[in-house]
Structure 1
Amino acid sequence: MIERKIYLKQVLPFIDQDIIKVITGMRRSGKSVFLQLIQNELKRRGIEENQFISLNLEDLANEPLTEYHQLHKYLLDRTKEINGTSYIFLDEIQKVPNWQKAINSLRVTTNCDIYLTGSNSQLLSGELATLIAGRYIEIKIYPFSFDEFLTAIDSPRTNLNSDFMNYVNIGGLPFLSRIYQDKIACQNYLTDIYNSVVLNDIVSRYSIRNVDLLQRIFGYLSSEIGHPITASKIQKYLKSENRMPSLDTILDYINYSTEAFLFQKVPRQELRGKKSLKLNEKFYIMDHGLRNIILGNNQRDIDQVLENIVYIELKRRGYNVEIGINKNQEIDFVATKGNEKKYYQVTYLLANESTITREFGAYNGVQDFYPKYVLSMDNFDFSRNGIIHQNIIDFLLETSK
């Protein structure tokens, strides 16, 4: 197993604390393995394995426990058999309606340390979430970073460009590191994951009848990565294909995609007035390998894919990310974390002077002293006027140095 240090660092301070640890992320992004990593850490601390209570709630054998009273009774009975702290690990807790009632009761009545995973962003919203408000921490798991991908495939890191193109094409879902050299196997696996997210997490959950419309909307979002999107634009596109869904339907389907962690919505911010713009938001796919399945060759739209990779990497590093609006220009990403702030422009190559002028010129008039970057695949350093040019691969690997 790859030791996902960036996430372990987030959870370690809360081990043995009266805080429910909720691990969220899209399907097959590594949540279940992360639970095992936490158990390994507990064992290193001297905790006996017989103090662990682990359940995968997608396992058919555990289906009776997806009723919250039954889950509560089972866990309560198990904790009574354990001397000392019970460490409870529940995988895919969203399978249990009203799970918050069972978990909150266990938290207040037993000596336990609770870890949950879930594949839906609505896990912690709604009226019942108030039962555990202030008593949980959410840890968001993303697919493998490029650095993790290199570690997983045991790369000697002597041919990073070739390894990176493999990563561009197949994405970062952890299992792919085992079969990354078999393109057909990778394609089949990604297709199965995409169908699982669409059919299990969206179609079944929301009782959607028009699956074709849903997939066409997802195709549109994938093709427009990095471009401002509105429901009316999607409606106009669908009209050209002789489909006329309502704007409400389109908005609902988009929301379902973000709730299932298939896409992430990124707001735009007016840099000078600090005003958040609610319209024309951008969308990025959680794993760019899935985009390859939805649309085809990622290398054909390499600019968009690189932008997607950089966005997810910034989120993985814990930044809040927005699109910056600077007069009539746009800055790809404004990344903030506490008092830290960085600006990023992303392009494939600075191929000519007009591209250089456009990318570096996006910062014209931004007067603050926060770091400003232009990321590209170029190896030559184009830094100028206090703006840092950085190779994208170097950017992706900088946390490992």
Structure 2
Amino acid sequence: MKLYQREKYLRRIRPFYNDDDIIKVITGVRRCGKSSLMETIAEEIKAQGVQADNIVYIDLDKRGFHNIKTPEQLEELIEKHAQADGLKYLFIDEIQNVEAFEEVINGFRNEGGYSIFITGSNSYLLSGELVTKLTGRYLEFEMFPLSFDEYEGMKKFYKKPISGNGAVELNSYILEGGFPRTIHIDELSAKRTYVNGVIDEIIKKDIRRRVKIKDIAAFETVRNYIISNFGATTSIKKLYDALNNNGLKISRATISKYIQILLDAKILYECPRFDIKSKKSLSGEKKYYLADLSFYYSLNTDNRINYGPNLENIVFTYAKSMEYAVSIGRIGKLECDFILRSRNMDYSYVQVAYTILESKATEDREYRALEAIRDNYSKYVITTDYLMQKRNGIHHVNLMDFLNDQQEF
């Protein structure tokens, strides 16, 4: 099957295709498309005239490689397949399956003549030994499931039906999620079954292999509670009170541990709060967003869409996929949904709402926080409206058009 090209990621990695001194590390939640991205990179390198013998591709999740568990086995496997002369391109998928792989990868990097690409499905990949041994010698490229623009692009690429109504497509994206494999699944119930399988796989391969969880039922309760309340301002104390009031006797330390596990597995992303006036991060309350909205809908039977957190989640993951640092802004008693910082250290301020056309009060609520910010960085109100408001130089944009055009903030 011809692969859909995830261009927003490919254009970041292309400048490093031929660099043998930098390890290219592709991370992201399981099944978000890392393997397909690596396959695309390998195909692009072949198209540049590189011989097939110079490309070594090892998928440690596939049959035939399941028994590769030690660094010695990995090194022997690489040497067996890397016999060609000249620069060799080494691709290793799900490398975290091999204990202490760092020494092997660092050895081939130090030897030279290998342009190395590796993937991993959790944050353990970039912790401990790898960071210690390879500081300054690797680049991380974080992937996400399909953003709305990619969801539309992939459906078009594979000739799947697309509604001419942007709001209908947005609803479909919210309910179906952005895992690439689900584009090829027609029934919504089957898509949900697939995502449940992804969740089970994450628990089995990315969590239980690495972390000892004594009380699985308590962990699942915490997981389900946070996923069901994504986008809500919360704190460890609030979570502790809510869970204990619901009959789960659990400590704050255990809640913190379970949240960190979900963050490391890239199921959740943390969005901290930032005081715009004092320019300081705020401890305590924060929000958690999902790597993909399908995590919520696969664990809940309710298909009603609460647009507030859903649209925030879409903007959050889109901004992250465009390499923005994201936080929540507070200015006095007002809150700005997102403060975005680009890699060039430019800032943008964003409010997200389904519509501002209901009333003047609704419009004022969304604009008030932005109008209270006194610097000259760009400010956005993002809605599903097609009638645009002009007010105090603030950009009012349509969510679907903004994402489909892959615009930057």
TM-score by length of 2: 0.93
Partners of 2:193 and 2:298 within 8 A in 1? no
Q: Does 2:79 correspond to 1:76?
A: yes
The Cα shift of 1:329 comes to 1.0
Structure 1 match to 2:48? 45
Moved more, 113-122 or 198-207: 198-207
Structure 2 match to 1:171? 177
Partners of 2:58 and 2:92 within 8 A in 1? yes
Instruction: Name the SS for the 1:70 alignment partner.
Output: helix
Deviations 1:30-60 (A, max 9, x none): 0000011101110111011121111111235
Partners of 1:57 and 1:66 within 8 A in 2? no
Q: Which amino acid aligns with 1:392?
A: L
Structure 2 match to 1:377? 384
User: Whole-Å Cα distance in 1 between the matches of residues 303 and 362 of structure 2?
Assistant: 21
Structure 2 match to 1:354? 361
Q: Give runs of aligned pairs for residues 57-68 of structure 1, distance below 5 A.
A: 57-68=60-71
Deviations 1:233-288 (A, max 9, x none): 11111112211111111101000001001000111111111101121121100001
RMSD over aligned CA atoms reads 1.7
Partners of 1:168 and 1:299 within 8 A in 2? no
The Cα shift of 1:128 comes to 4.2
Instruction: Name the SS for the 1:104 alignment partner.
Output: helix
Q: Does 2:322 correspond to 1:317?
A: yes
Instruction: Name the SS for the 1:206 alignment partner.
Output: coil
Q: Give runs of aligned pairs for residues 150-161 of structure 1, distance below 5 A.
A: 150-154=152-156, 158-161=164-167
Instruction: Name the SS for the 1:267 alignment partner.
Output: strand
Deviations 1:327-385 (A, max 9, x none): 11110101111132211111112222222111111123211111111111122112312
Deviations 1:206-247 (A, max 9, x none): 132322222221222123222222112111111122111111
Q: Which amino acid aligns with 2:351?
A: Q
Q: Does 2:97 correspond to 1:95?
A: yes
Instruction: Name the SS for the 2:270 alignment partner.
Output: strand
Q: Does 2:306 correspond to 1:304?
A: no
Q: Give runs of aligned pairs for residues 135-284 of structure 1, distance below 5 A.
A: 135-154=137-156, 158-179=164-185, 181-284=186-289
Deviations 1:131-182 (A, max 9, x none): 1111111001111121211122125663322222110101110011112x31
Moved more, 21-30 or 141-150: 141-150
The Cα shift of 1:393 comes to 0.9
User: Whole-Å Cα distance in 2 between the matches of residues 186 and 117 of structure 1?
Assistant: 25
The Cα shift of 1:69 comes to 1.7
Structure 1 match to 2:406? 399
User: Whole-Å Cα distance in 2 between the matches of residues 215 and 43 of structure 1?
Assistant: 45
User: Whole-Å Cα distance in 2 between the matches of residues 329 and 394 of structure 1?
Assistant: 28
User: Whole-Å Cα distance in 1 between the matches of residues 372 and 84 of structure 2?
Assistant: 63
Q: Percent identity?
A: 32
User: Whole-Å Cα distance in 2 between the matches of residues 83 and 388 of structure 1?
Assistant: 55
User: Whole-Å Cα distance in 2 between the matches of residues 269 and 295 of structure 1?
Assistant: 31
TM-score by length of 1: 0.95
Instruction: Name the SS for the 1:321 alignment partner.
Output: strand
Partners of 2:337 and 2:350 within 8 A in 1? yes
User: Whole-Å Cα distance in 1 between the matches of residues 208 and 301 of structure 2?
Assistant: 23
Structure 2, unmatched stretches of 5+, are none
Q: Does 2:35 correspond to 1:28?
A: no
User: Whole-Å Cα distance in 1 between the matches of residues 183 and 66 of structure 2?
Assistant: 31
User: Whole-Å Cα distance in 2 between the matches of residues 301 and 199 of structure 1?
Assistant: 30
Q: Which amino acid aligns with 2:300?
A: L
Partners of 2:92 and 2:117 within 8 A in 1? yes
Q: Which amino acid aligns with 1:151?
A: G
User: Whole-Å Cα distance in 2 between the matches of residues 64 and 177 of structure 1?
Assistant: 32
Q: Give runs of aligned pairs for residues 118-133 of structure 1, distance below 5 A.
A: 118-133=120-135
Q: How many residues align?
A: 399
Summarize the Cα distance change of 1:394–1:87 in structure 2 as closer, same or farther, 3 Å threshold: same
User: Whole-Å Cα distance in 2 between the matches of residues 194 and 65 of structure 1?
Assistant: 24
Summarize the Cα distance change of 1:361–1:296 in structure 2 as closer, same or farther, 3 Å threshold: farther
